[in-house]
């Protein structure tokens, strides 16, 4: 989501993504940063591909 921020107009990005980013930031503080970083280290290319499709809306029904 953060990488999307620079490619979208600020107002549009805030409307679409800000709430979600805040929720992720809250979750990160709850699970602690080292646990979060360990989970990120286990993310696969397939996980990234699925996330990319979700962010683009390709998996919407």
Q: DSSP class of residue 58?
A: T
pLDDT score at 19: 92
Strand, coil or helix: 35: helix
pLDDT of residue 61: 64
* DSSP type of residue 13: H
Q: In which band, very low, low, confident or very high, does the pLDDT at 56 lie, cut at 50, 70 and 90?
A: confident
CB contact at 8 A, 4 and 13: yes
pTM of structure: 0.66
């Amino acid at each position: 989501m953060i990488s999307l921020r620079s490619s979208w107009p600020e107002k549009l990005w805030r409307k679409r993504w800000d709430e979600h980013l805040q929720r992720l930031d809250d979750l990160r503080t709850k699970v602690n940063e080292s646990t979060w970083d360990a989970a990120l280290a286990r993310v696969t290319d397939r996980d990234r591909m699925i996330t990319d499709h979700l962010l683009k809306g390709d998996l919407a029904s």
